Structure 1
Amino acid sequence: MTQRSSVNKTELIEHISQHADISKAAATRALEATIDAVRATLRKGDTVSIVGFGTFAVSKRAARTGRNPRTGSAIKIKPARVPKFRPGKALKDALN
């Protein structure tokens, strides 16, 4: 078995299709629906908790001053809402 650094969306759909015994089209729809549900929930500022996997949440990043790497001059960076993921205990245990 070769060591992989990442799995892309197509490979994930293939895995879902094989292990759930459904077509690739159905696996694609299921994955898209899951991603859309997480995105919509986070957009509202709520969290998504999947027991045994983890929690998706929105974090607020304050405005700050940064540096332009080319010129070294100070630039203002606007505040932003960013997605965060906290792995659950079962996921952590599965990795160690």
Structure 2
Amino acid sequence: MTKSELIAALSAKYPHLLMHDIEKIVFIIFDEISSALERGDRVELRGFGTFIPRQREARRGRNPKTGTAVAVEEKKVPFFKMGKELRERINKTK
């Protein structure tokens, strides 16, 4: 699901809200999650999961086109750990 599909689904589910307002809400939520991860904070959404910034160490990589060794700098990457309720919803048998 893309961001625009999420906005369309929310506007269909909540017709009393304006599309413009729903769009603002979605952008604010995603912006706050991004800002928290940028600061190094953990974002926990109960029943959904947790986003954690993780540090990746510098390493030697390879250019897939030429095969030459390339230095990859250390960086932070977001890590998502699924919550118990979401895991159960995804794995329930029908």
Same fold (TM over 0.5): yes
Q: Give the 4+ runs in structure 1 shifted more than 3 A.
A: none
Q: How large is the Cα RMSD of the aligned pairs? A: 1.0
Percent identity over the alignment is 36
Name stretches of at least 5 consecutive residues in structure 1 with no aligned partner. Answer: 1-6
Deviations 1:38-67 (A, max 9, x none): 011001100110100000110111100011
Letter paired with 1:30: I
Shift of 1:89: 0.3
Letter paired with 1:9: K
* TM score, norm. by length of structure 2: 0.89
Greater alpha carbon shift after TM alignment, 10-19 vs 34-43: 10-19
- Are 1:8 and 2:2 counterparts? yes
* Aligned counterparts of 2:9 and 2:85: Cα–Cα separation in 1: 20
* TM score, norm. by length of structure 1: 0.88
Deviations 1:18-77 (A, max 9, x none): 223411111100100000110110011001101000001101111000111222211100
1:11-26 matches, within 5 Å, as 11-21=5-15, 22-26=17-21
- Are 1:81 and 2:43 counterparts? no
Question: In the comparison of the two structures, how many residue pairs are matched?
Answer: 90
Name stretches of at least 5 consecutive residues in structure 2 with no aligned partner. Answer: none
